[in-house]
Structure formats: structure tokens, C-alpha cells
Amino acid sequence: MLIPPQNWTGYDQGAHFFLPSYIMRTHGAKQQRIAIKRTPKAQLEPVFKALDTLGNTKWRINKKVLSLVDRIWANGGRVGGLVDRDDVPIPEEPDSEDQEEIKQWKWKMKEANKENSERHSQRCDVELKLEVARKMKDEEGFYFPHNVDFRGRAYPMHPYLNHLGSDLCRGILEFCEGKPLGESGLRWLKIHIANLYGGGVDKFAYKDRVAFAESHLEDIFDSSDRPLEGKRWWLNAEDPFQCLAACMNLSEALRSPFPEAAVSHIPIHQVLAKLYPQK
């Protein structure tokens, strides 16, 4: 949405202005629908406020990452977890009456058709995500209305491109409103890169994750400057596109006269339950 969604005030009152919107995803479960309708509004007020806060958070497209994804996709995919845009070759039928050879051919045919079917589905998924991103890339910002599932977990109501989607989605989305990093933000950006890199690094103590990022500054700069032509360090990450976005942001900050004053738009994921035990 290009404007903030309506505030939630009831079961079917909020979010979209013209499309039907429901605060809970009941998927046809009549009992759940009845229960939420009967719940006093005062009891639902904290849920309304939480969803309104999420819905009023403004996002935008990270044009640098989107441009790179478009380059990769135009060249056939196969990078950063993107599916191959080409089908696997279909094996030719053997010119033989040998039953074992025919059996093997049929098995390879089945495997090839299955792989191509899966690739087709994945290509459609990528195309839908990129189509939305391209359409929104020149907008100043946009919003995602949210609702909850029957367990109370909040989700964006847009089905294709959203901040809870795949690494591709998360890599090409960023907050519209940036904030100066400060000393703490600069530290957390380094921790964020370590978390996205994964491979066990995300289980290190926070100080060791900071040390990991600092020991790979040359790789981080190279990833930012030459993501496809350089060493491609970012592709070793478990979440490559998010890692690349963070590398670009950290590179800009560290190259600025005052890194702590650099503005960041990167969402940094945190597990709140684990924030307090560590320093």
C-alpha cells in the first residue's frame, strides 16, 4: 500500500480500504471466526495496536540489491540460491529393446520432468516477487498491512514480496526511514553480517561475531564494490542477498568520515529472549 493501512477496530474493520480484510486468518474455521467476533474489543486492543504499529512501518526497495538481482536473473539465475531459468535436458529414448535400459530411461525421464516442474514453480515465484519489486522501486515508500494467524503470530497480508519472505525478499526490502547508526548500531550491523553468514558463526558470542565481521572487512568491501566480478564472499553466506545488503551498508558507513553518523535503513533481526544474557 502506498498509504498507511486503516487502523484495526474490529474483526473485519481495518487494513485495506477497499479489499475485504480480517484480523485473523481462520481459513474457514467457523469456531475460530465466532470466537474472535465474540471477544470484547477492549481485550483485543493490544492486538490492534501491535498490528497497527507493524502496518504503519514504512518500507522501500533497496535499488542496489534489486539491480544486482535483475542482472543475475537476466543471465539465467543460478546465483545466490536463485533457480536456474533453463530446464534440465530431457533424456532421449534409447534405440534399444533392452528392458533394463528402457527402465533406466523412464526413471531419468521421471526425474527430469519432476525437476523441470519444480523449477517452473520456483521461476514463477521469483518472477512474481521481482515484478512487485520493480513496480515499487521508484516509490518513496510503501506499507504492509498485517493480521494474525490462529496462534496470534503476525504476518504481512501481501502474499509475494514482504519482509517475512525468502532471503531474496528480505534482501531487496529496507526501512524507508533511516537512522544514524551510532556506536551500538555499528556494532549490531557487524553482528548482523555474522548472523546472516551463518555456518556456525551465528552461534558465537556477540564479541566474537563482531570480530568475525572485522576480520572479513576486505571481503565485505569487495562484496559491496564487485559483487559478481570480485571474490563473491557474500555468496558463501546462508542468507546471501541479505548479507550483501548489509555489506553494502557497512562499507558505506566505514568509508564515511564519521561511521557512527552514517544512516542505515537495514532491518537487523534480533532474538529478544537472548538479548539480556549476553553483553
pTM confidence score: 0.91
* E strand or H helix at 186: helix 182-197
| Residue 196, strand partner residues | none
DSSP 82: P
3-class SS of residue 149: coil
Task: List, for residues 155-186, the tens digit of each pLDDT value.
Answer: 999 999 999 999 999 999 999 999 999 999 99
Q: Is the pLDDT of residue 277 over 60?
A: no
Cell of 176: 524507508
Tell me if 23 sits within 8 A of 12, measured CB to CB: yes
Burial 4-32 (b: 16+ CB within 10 A, else e): ebbebeebeebbeeeeebbbbebeeeeee
Nearest C-alpha neighbor of 174 from the set 268, 53, 267: 267
- 8: pLDDT strictly greater than 60: yes
Residue 152, sorted as left (phi over 0), alpha (psi -120 to 50) or beta, turns out to be left
DSSP for residue 87: P
Find, among 177, 179, 171, 200, the residue nearest to 269 by Cα.
171
Q: What is the mean pLDDT of the chain?
A: 95
The count of other CB atoms within 10 Å of the CB of residue 247 is 28
Name which of 216, 189, 195, 215 is nearest 274 in CA terms: 195
Confidence of residue 273 (pLDDT cuts 50, 70, 90): low
Confidence category of residue 30, pLDDT binned at 50, 70, 90: confident
- Please, are residues 148 and 25 in contact by the beta-carbon 8 Å criterion? yes
Q: Over 60: is that where the pLDDT of 96 sits?
A: yes
Residue 19, all three cell numbers: 479489499
pLDDT at 120: 98
